[in-house]
Amino acid sequence: MIGIVDYNAGNIKSVERALAYLKAPYILSKNPKDLENCEKLIFPGVGEAKYAMEQLKLTGFDSFLKDWVKAEKPLVGICLGSQIIFDHSEEGDVDCLGLLPGTIRHFSNVWKGEGSDAAGILKVPHMGWNNLTYQNGSSPLFAEVEEKSDFYFVHSYLIQPADSTIIKAYADYGCQVPACVSKGSITAFQFHPEKSGKAGLKILENYINA
């Protein structure tokens, strides 16, 4: 059974539709207790990091997710859910879940730090389709998904993990944008697999069947 974390900041309907299409049994809940017996979790999210962290604390999902990962149970983060698993976000200057070491930075600050002229050329948010390059051995969840496949992105902030070896795929948008990170029982996607056609559905199918 797949559990979907509903903390009032998620792209819930599209995830539900994708799982229904794949005929995967799932539970959607705002109550952590309802998800305790699930085998795997999907942690989606859109919106602002500070608000999301407030909601996680109000619902008790902050401690639930920390305990879940401590128990080495499978967790997939999507979009905002791929970001707030890290230590800190510049969006709202907020401390996040700290499940993985790293920070979340605005595109403009990353571009500036790398001396890129992308700020004068590229728009923020990074929105639309972008292809991926695999690295560091990729992830088993990309099985049967060809490198350079296109996925759908919508974000203004990007993951900057403390350990770059956990980046399993990246996109190019004025810099290398970590698109998939994985360590232990955690895998997280900056893009939206549930909105990315056949390739995205294959990733979710691989997670369901893993």
Q: Are 130 and 172 in contact (CB under 8 A)?
A: yes
Q: Catalytic one among 88, 126, 155, 192?
A: 192
Alpha helices in the chain (DSSP H): 12-21, 49-59, 61-70, 80-83, 107-113, 197-209
Q: Catalytic one among 38, 79, 96, 180?
A: 79
d(CA 10, CA 17): 14
Provide Rg for the chain, Cα atoms: 16
d(CA 77, CA 11): 11
Question: Could you give the C-alpha distances from 10 to 6, 104, 113, 137, 210, in angstroms and in order?
Answer: 6, 18, 31, 29, 24
Interacting residues of 90 by C-beta distance below 8 A, sequence separation 6+:
103, 104, 105, 106, 109, 157
Nearest to 65 by CA among 1, 158, 3, 140: 3
Residue 90, burial from CB neighbour count under 10 angstroms (0-12, 13-18, 19+): middle
Q: Catalytic one among 88, 91, 180, 194?
A: 194
Is residue 194 part of the annotated active site? The answer reads yes
Is residue 79 part of the annotated active site? The answer reads yes
Residues belonging to the active site: 79, 192, 194
